[in-house]
Amino acid sequence: MLLGMARGLLMLVPLALLSWPLATAARGEPLEDTLARVFPLAARQLEATASTLPETEYPSETLPDGTWDTTDADSFTSGFLPGSFWALYEYTGAPIWRTRAERWQAGLESQKDRTDDQDLGFILFTSFGNAYRLTGQESYRRILLTAASSLSQRYDARMGLIRSRGDLDDEDEFEVIIDSMMNIELLFWAARNGGRRELYDMAHQHALSVLESHVRADGSTYQTVNFDPRTRMLREQGKEQGCRWNTTWSRGQAWAVYGFTVAYRETKDPRMLRAARLTADYFIRHLPSDEVPYWDFQAPNIPKEPRDSSAAAATASALVELSQLETRPERALRYREAARDILRSLASPAYLDSNRRTSAILLHGTAFRPHDRFDTGLIYGDYFFLEALLRYSKLPERLTSREPQQREALLSAAPSTGEAPRNRERLFRFEEGILTPEATGVDRIVGPVTLVSEGALVGNGSVRIPDTFPAFLEEHFTDTTDFSTSFYLRVESLPSENTDLVSFLKGRTPLGNLFLRRNGTLFARNGPFEVGPRSNPMEEGELYRISLSQKRESGSFAILEASLARGDEAFECPFASSRVRLSTPRADRLRLGATTGPLDLVIDDVRLDTALP
């Protein structure tokens, strides 16, 4: 009580004069002096946020000018500001932080009845979960129990999984993302705080199923997995915010470490401990020398790639807890030291926003690198940083000091197997001034397709696909499982409806294909099923390069990838990259142009590569 009163009085002193020690930190810890600076800085930043934002707006990431971009209550990020206020209340005991937390979380209560999304744990356990833990207020418990009941409706007993997105009765797709591991704690908590026992079983089974479908043998993770809900068969494993299907998005890896650690704490199932170890070891093993990961562990331009401080913060918090749950002392020490090293780096001038460059606490977060949202402050990075520091400050015993491990990020792409297939390469350049199959080498030209010289993309001539359909080029080849195409494109005007742009087919059956949306984004499909995220929007009149490829992987699976780049920029990370199950693995033709709706675009330098039998 006296300690809480004393800390409350400290809030009357100007923040610049404060030097707050972590009262329960072990003496002599290498982080002690560094950690003592963080909470005053956090208080300063969060106080500024509270004074500038209305209570109905919730920060997500910082804008180029350093201010917060905000969301409504239904965003997965909305609970992290009140959660951060609760962290300051826990540390200081000052009533002002409880008041602020309760003011901002009040607008989140309505989310407890949602059944259309998995993110109730992110939204409500970070806010009302901390509120109940620190105050014991009964109304908060009831809100959380309602939220858990709502989330449980997304659980499918046949699949043994919580559906991440989509309608509850969707019979075409059943998508589960690794982020779901951050929401099962709400179910575990509810089961031991007055909720149904089935909530525990759902959370436990979901974690077991995710271990099977999302975690690779080396401990790395897929972000997205899609199932056929009618057959329960795996349909797709891929990426959304990472680089490629077989690389590892670092924040997704953090969600896995955190979620499996929670699952082991709640179940004591040794399979969950093995999963936590496996994913944690992978994360630690792939850290660069300053302990803060790149946004993707195998991003193509390391060490020039952006970091993600939020992935570091969430993993540090999980590692502190894992070190206390670990049954082997040498592993416990390893995880605790790894957490310490990460926190030391995050609390350094390189990552801590000591000079008020932004409204955030941490710098250099990556929200969504493929959509150019990087090198920013992230409210969830701040939240997990404070949570990790609070957890670390309560560790019971002193560590033996050592220097951080020296290691570099590993650039380990999936190894190729066997010899590369022999390819037949074809390039169609449209330079002859005549648009006929004989002049161009294209097997089939359908509809009012024309040649243009004025405004040609490359060389003296390009092909114009008009806003009348059907209008397309078609090239035939010996059927094969491995094929790719790339071409230059300029959109003259965006379509009035989603329209097919390029397709590989077997006869009339589509395999991999790309559609152009009314807003200028592209999306890939495997037959009729959408694959991966959408591209950044294209602008009318700008020059782009597009590629689409399929490569047989194993059994009935293939790798489907689609890329978009400006002008002559190199293709780096595809916007869609997934391991997909094929109903028809072999294609025998490429179709470029519109069959389902009007397009208005110019194309050139069409390259087609097909594997020879």
Going by the annotation, the residues of the binding site for substrate are 119, 179, 251, 255
Beta strand 423-428 pairing with 444-446: unpaired
pLDDT exceeds cutoff 60 at 367? yes
In this predicted structure, what is the pLDDT of residue 613? 64
Q: How confident is the model at residue 398 (pLDDT cuts 50, 70, 90)?
A: low
HEC states along 68-103?
Answer: EEEECCCCCCCCHHHHHHHHHHHHHCCHHHHHHHHH
Taking the model in full, what pTM does it have? 0.90
In this predicted structure, what is the pLDDT of residue 404? 40
Note the pLDDT tens digit of each residue in 128-181. 999 999 999 999 999 999 999 999 999 999 999 999 999 999 999 999 999 999
Beta strand 543-554 pairing with 529-531: unpaired
Length of the chain: 613
Residue 123 DSSP code: I
CA-based angle 526:528:533, to the nearest 5? 55
Query: Residue 257 and residue 263: Cα distance in Å, rounded?
Result: 10
In this predicted structure, what is the pLDDT of residue 440? 84
Query: Residue 95 and residue 12: Cα distance in Å, rounded?
Result: 12
Note the pLDDT tens digit of each residue in 88-142. 999 999 999 999 999 999 999 999 999 999 999 999 999 999 999 999 999 999 9
Instruction: State which amino acid sits at residue 351.
Output: Y
Sorted by where each begins, the domain ranges of the chain are 2-12+36-393, 426-611
Q: Tell me which CATH code domain 2-12+36-393 carries.
A: 1.50.10.10
The helix/strand/coil state of 445 is strand
Could you tell me if 500 and 513 are in contact, meaning their C-beta atoms sit under 8 angstroms apart?
yes
CA-based angle 310:99:70, to the nearest 5? 40
Could you tell me if 222 and 163 are in contact, meaning their C-beta atoms sit under 8 angstroms apart?
no
- CA pseudo-torsion sign 310, 311, 312, 318: positive
Q: What is 426-611's CATH topology?
A: Jelly Rolls (2.60.120)
In this predicted structure, what is the pLDDT of residue 49? 98
Task: Provide CB contacts within 8 A for 492, sequence distance 6+.
Answer: 540, 541, 600, 601, 602
Q: List, in sequence order, every residue forming a beta bridge with 307; answer none if it has no partner.
A: 294
Q: Which of 183-192, 423-432, 473-482 has the lowest average pLDDT? A: 423-432
Structure tokens at 338: 């790894």
- Catalytic residue numbers, as ranges: 119, 179
In this predicted structure, what is the pLDDT of residue 410? 42
Helix (H) or strand (E) holding 390: helix 379-393
Find how far residue 163's CA is from the centre of its chain. Answer: 16
pLDDT exceeds cutoff 70 at 291? yes
Q: How confident is the model at residue 431 (pLDDT cuts 50, 70, 90)?
A: confident
